């Protein structure tokens, strides 16, 4: 059984006539009849009833028609996929955490459009936990995750590690001086709701030191946290990349937190159970390059 035989069979079934199918396929009728007979011999079943007006599918032929169409559609899809990848077409969806997205999106999209002018790009922002679930479910092709846990569901490529900073509308002591966790436990802190990678990291380190943080506000609109800090509603702890956001840091005091292990690692992640298209692979490599250029 080969694709030619399946193609011939489907066309005969659609037209209800071997002679009409031969004309449509530009194949000699005897050759078409031989291919059909060889297929029936292999299947050990008659696929058509012959009559004076043409042919009709048998019960076996009707069942086989669905399978034959499915095989041919699958082959067409595979051919289209290969042609699409070879031509730089297709679509890829990338997930970015909000603070990273503000810093990277313009440079990344500019690079992508220049490299793949025929391809479509989607960029989604969200917290690392949500991006991970979208990645595993197949809604994202590539995601940037903050401190992802090891998992068999994803392949993780660490790109850059950043220190954490305390930010506030007023400095704690001398502007720009380093602070310790013990210096900030009494401050009203603004964090996203748990679980959140940075919050979990800071709370774990505080617990190790026997300290308890004062979480005054839980704000899941991450882009608003810096605005609330600037307005004097509290302090927050953020990675260094937030300092690169144009306009957000002008009225804010920054203090590097002096504590072992209080760093964040930004990683590029892809799902392990679904093969990446060549477009997605190239996009992941491009994203890594842009991250290293912008964030390091």
Alpha helices (H) along 138-277: 181-184, 197-208, 222-230
- What would the pLDDT profile of 93-126 be if each residue is shown by its tens digit? 999 988 788 888 999 999 999 999 989 999 998 8
Task: Give which of 213, 167, 219 is closest to 186, Cα–Cα.
Answer: 213
Contact 78, 41 (CB under 8 A): no
Which residues make beta-bridge pairs with 95? 124, 143
- Whether the per-residue pLDDT at 243 is higher than 80: the answer is no
Q: 245: pLDDT confidence band, cut at 50, 70 and 90?
A: low
The predicted structure's pLDDT at residue 242 = 75
CA angle (96 as vertex; 91, 98 as ends), nearest 5: 140
> What's the chain's length in residues?
296
Contact 205, 180 (CB under 8 A): no
- Whether the per-residue pLDDT at 178 is higher than 70: the answer is yes
What is the Cα–Cα distance from 154 to 274, expressed in whole angstroms?
A: 10
Task: Give which of 255, 251, 288, 249 is closest to 269, Cα–Cα.
Answer: 288
The predicted structure's pLDDT at residue 272 = 87
Q: Which structure tokens are listed for 166?
A: 């305390």
- What would the pLDDT profile of 257-278 be if each residue is shown by its tens digit? 887 678 889 999 999 887 788 8
Domains of the chain and any CATH numbers? 3-86 (1.10.10.10), 91-159+268-295 (3.40.190.10), 160-264 (3.40.190.10)
What is the CA 253 to chain-centroid distance, rounded? 35
Task: Give which of 17, 68, 23 is closest to 42, Cα–Cα.
Answer: 68
Q: What is the mean pLDDT of residues 155-159?
A: 93
High-pLDDT (> 90) share of the chain, %: 40
CA angle (128 as vertex; 178, 268 as ends), nearest 5: 90
Which residues make beta-bridge pairs with 179? 257
Q: What is the mean pLDDT of residues 85-96?
A: 78
The predicted structure's pLDDT at residue 50 = 85
Which residues make beta-bridge pairs with 263? 163
- Whether the per-residue pLDDT at 162 is higher than 90: the answer is no
- What would the pLDDT profile of 64-80 be if each residue is shown by its tens digit? 998 998 888 888 767 76
Query: Greater confidence, 259 or 247?
Result: 259
Chain mean pLDDT for the chain: 87
CA angle (98 as vertex; 269, 177 as ends), nearest 5: 105
What is the Cα–Cα distance from 235 to 219, expressed in whole angstroms?
A: 12
Global pTM reads 0.63
């Amino acid at each position: 059984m080969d694709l030619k035989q399946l193609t011939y069979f489907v066309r005969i079934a659609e037209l209800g006539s071997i002679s009409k199918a031969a004309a449509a396929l530009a194949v000699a009728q005897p050759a078409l009849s031989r291919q059909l007979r060889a297929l029936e011999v292999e299947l050990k079943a008659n696929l058509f009833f012959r009559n004076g007006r043409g042919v009709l599918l048998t019960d076996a032929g009707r069942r086989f028609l669905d399978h034959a169409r499915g095989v041919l559609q699958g082959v067409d899809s595979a051919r289209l996929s290969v042609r699409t990848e070879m031509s730089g077409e297709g679509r890829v969806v990338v997930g970015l955490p909000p603070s990273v997205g503000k810093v990277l999106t313009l440079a990344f999209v500019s690079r992508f459009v220049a490299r793949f002018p025929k391809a479509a790009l989607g960029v989604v922002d969200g917290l690392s936990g949500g991006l991970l679930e979208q990645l595993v479910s197949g809604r994202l092709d590539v995601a940037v995750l903050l401190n992802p846990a090891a998992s068999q569901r994803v392949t993780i490529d660490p790109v850059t590690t950043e220190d954490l900073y305390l930010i506030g509308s007023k400095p704690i002591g001398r502007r720009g001086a380093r602070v310790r966790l013990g210096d900030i436990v009494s401050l009203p802190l603004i964090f996203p709701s748990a679980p959140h990678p940075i919050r979990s990291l800071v709370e774990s380190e505080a617990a190790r030191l026997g300290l308890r943080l004062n979480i005054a506000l839980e704000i899941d609109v991450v882009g608003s946290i810096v605005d609330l800090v600037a307005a004097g509603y509290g302090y927050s702890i953020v990675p260094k990349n937030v300092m690169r956001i144009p306009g957000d840091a002008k009225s804010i005091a920054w203090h590097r937190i002096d504590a072992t292990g209080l760093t964040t690692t930004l990683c590029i992640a892809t799902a392990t159970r679904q093969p990446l298209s060549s477009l997605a692979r190239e996009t992941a490599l491009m994203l890594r390059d842009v991250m290293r250029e912008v964030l390091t």
